[in-house]
Structure 1
Amino acid sequence: MKLRKVTAASAAVLALALTATACGGDDSKDSGSSSSGSGKIKIGIKFDQPGLGLKEPDGSYAGFDVDVATYVAKQLGYKPDQIEWVETKSADRENALARGDVKFIAATYSITDERKQKVDFAGPYLLAHQDLLVKKDSDISKGTDLNGKKLCSVTGSTSAQNVHDTIAPKAQLKEYSGYSECIAALQSGVVDAVTTDDSILAGFAAQDKYKGQFKLAGLKLSNENYGVGVKKGDTATVTKINTALEKMVSDGSWKKAVDANFGPANYKNEQAPKIGVIVK
């Protein structure tokens, strides 16, 4: 009996020691996913939007959203080589956050009342507008000039339909599967204008192969407040990101990123928006 009692006690001590080891002292950073503890952070971006979020042929990433996300990650304690970029297409952004696939998303993510029911937002960090991209020598300078002209946007987008319904009912709508196809059609003269957010249009126009060929009409057909999406209820991360965005503006990094990514298209950006202020 004594032997059994001692063995049982020893087993209890060992179990307690193992439990303490398993539960305590994990100093690894929050990776932003349900896995790891590897000291990395997963951030959602677009992979196919020049000037905003683009995966380059060499595997690197570039664009304004990438610069913003990299700056924010640094303020959260992560170096660039600790960032794991995750492609988050528009239709999957809310799900990616809910599943914990990423810690946050910076991907031309306009803050809307509907989206705020599903995710929380830091920011906004950029105020964009729906606009038109036309050839540099085009005489299209206002929406009504599109009557009788060919207007391109991507399949499923409401941008071209908005222009058609509100200011140019005689515009001929053309749809392609991606904006790169619309821009190529504009270059070749198949269409007369392309419409979506001015930041997206400026990013495409700033590509080396298109520099100097296009211009933005500057119509400001809508207000798009780009925010950083965070999992619903994660107010601590929202607060940290807002602090980082404020610092990015105050130390000049925000303006530097805007100029680097949109400057070649002569993008007349708005001033950095105030944190928490949504322009309707």
Structure 2
Amino acid sequence: MKNIAIFASGSGESARRVVSLFNEGNRIRVSLVVTDRENAEIIELLQPFGIETVFMSRERLRDDASELLALLKERGVELIALDDFKGILPESVESEYAGKVVTLTGPEEAPIEVVNALERPAAARQEINLEKKEPKSVDEEWAETLKIDFDESRVRTTPPPIPSAQPTPAGPTPAQPASPQVNATAPNGMQGTPFNPTPAQGESPMPSTYMIWSVLATVFCCFIPGIVAIIFSSQVSTRYIAGDIQGARQASDRAQIWIIVSFVLGLLTSTLYLPIMLIS
């Protein structure tokens, strides 16, 4: 089980989407929600889910972040997700969770962004952090090597005068030796062998969603059972992504049942409609 914390300032729609999907499974769980607004909408929105919500003002986060950092470690938080968070993360928190902070762009994309951030290798996170750092100039590197104080205002901005051109002695230019040509060949054991990726062992395939049949049952058979079938069909993929394999199978079975109910009711309605019209 991987625990995540969500920092939010607004309505928390992306946070609610993540909680509703992942807290029913056994892979990912939202264990803490932090907001910098005392009466934020996310507090009331997540109250039915029983998620611990903590209010910390921006001044409190800026002056003393040790309490927040201790709370994150106590809850075993491995990833911080920002859902329209208007505050600024303390430097101690950014340093502790370097490469483990993801910004949620919307309710639909939030679950996938959380999963990708958790599965991202540590080397990739470190590379992203290094790219954010501004590279030092050549003057700064030389100053550090020579152990002298670097003052950018004293750096010379105009290039030195170009020395007078010296006559080039006449003579043949020595020819450069030709580089040997290297022919890259694949090992004998790999020549002509196609690469066929195999699925990971132990992972169950996603059950059928029956979405097309649900739509057809809604349009051509009975409307209300068809709508119920569409709801269960849409839950198959979301529960499968959240790691709830058993829940995905149950949603698939229920979608199939409601498709059959819609078909039977539609057949009965069309069969009884003509006699009733003749009698009336």
TM-score using structure 2 length? 0.21
Q: Which structure shows the higher helix fraction?
A: 2
Relative to its length, the structure with more strand (as a share) is: 1
Structure index of larger Rg: 2
Return the TM-score normalized by structure 1.
0.21
